[in-house]
Amino acid sequence: RHAQNLIAVSESVKTILANAFPTLRDKIVVIPNWLSSQAVLNLKTREEARNHFKINRPFALAVVGQITPLKGQHLVLEVVRRMVTQNCAADLEVYIFGQSQPKDYAYEQEVRALAHKPELKNHIHFLGAVPHLASYLSAFDIVVAPSINEGFSIAAIEAMNAGAVVIASNIGGLSEIIEHERTGILFPVGEINALKDALLRVMNDESLRVSIASSAQLYARTTSLYAGAGSRYCTDRNAGR
């Protein structure tokens, strides 16, 4: 009751907080997580980044985040499995970044087991936690965020900054970050066929990839860069006094 403000990283989180603390509803301020200026200044060229990860195929896809059912890594592997069986994944490599917490270790083992199936084992790479990953996301044409729930995704913002096309679940903070078909592609949560269609569409339509990547990078650098988000924090904090 003595709080001057409550800070939410997205409108969806604001709604959750408002329901949890109805007496503080008027004190909730939305301040999204921001993109570090170092993520812009230290961004590697596409060639440097691809060489860093030894990427050989024309298309590289990344999934970034803690390995947990809520992040939905299994959805991406199932999509790629279906693409392989339909002979439309020969040009695609998938890189999974992140680790699991002890409570999700069994899930990680399930995901790894799926990745080792014969049709997938030459397409999937697990790289764990990689230092300064934001600087190397320029290696990837596509970053998929298949979350079942997401308050905000700094990984999506960093991918947009790096020039990747983000394909994400239409939920929570992701749907606030991404404008469908302008700064990314949204698909219904958990819908494997919709995710597959979105991935194939982005891979097969170069003009769409270029358009989305350009718009997304501009959005990340003008809306989410530290200076802009930080100034909004100061303004809103002072306004709440």
DSSP conformation letters of the chain: ---S-EEESSHHHHHHHHHH-GGGGGGEEE----B-HHHHHTPPPHHHHHHHHT--SSEEEEEES--SGGGTHHHHHHHHHHHHHTT--TTEEEEEE----GGGHHHHHHHHHHHTSTTTTTTEEEEE--TTGGGGGGG-SEEEE--SS-S--HHHHHHHHTTPEEEEESSHHHHHH--BTTTBEEE-TT-HHHHHHHHHHHHH-HHHHHHHHHHHHHHHHHHSBHHHHHHHHHHHHHHT-
Give the per-residue pLDDT at 12: 66
CA angle 51/57/59 to nearest 5° reads 100
Entry pTM? 0.84
Per-residue pLDDT of the chain (241 residues; tens, 9 = 90+): 566 777 766 666 666 667 777 777 777 777 666 677 777 888 999 999 999 999 999 999 999 999 999 999 999 999 999 999 999 999 999 999 999 999 999 999 999 999 999 999 899 999 999 999 999 999 999 999 999 977 777 899 999 999 999 999 999 889 888 999 999 999 999 999 999 999 999 999 999 999 999 999 999 998 876 555 555 545 544 444 3
Is residue 162 within 8 Å of 140, Cβ to Cβ? yes
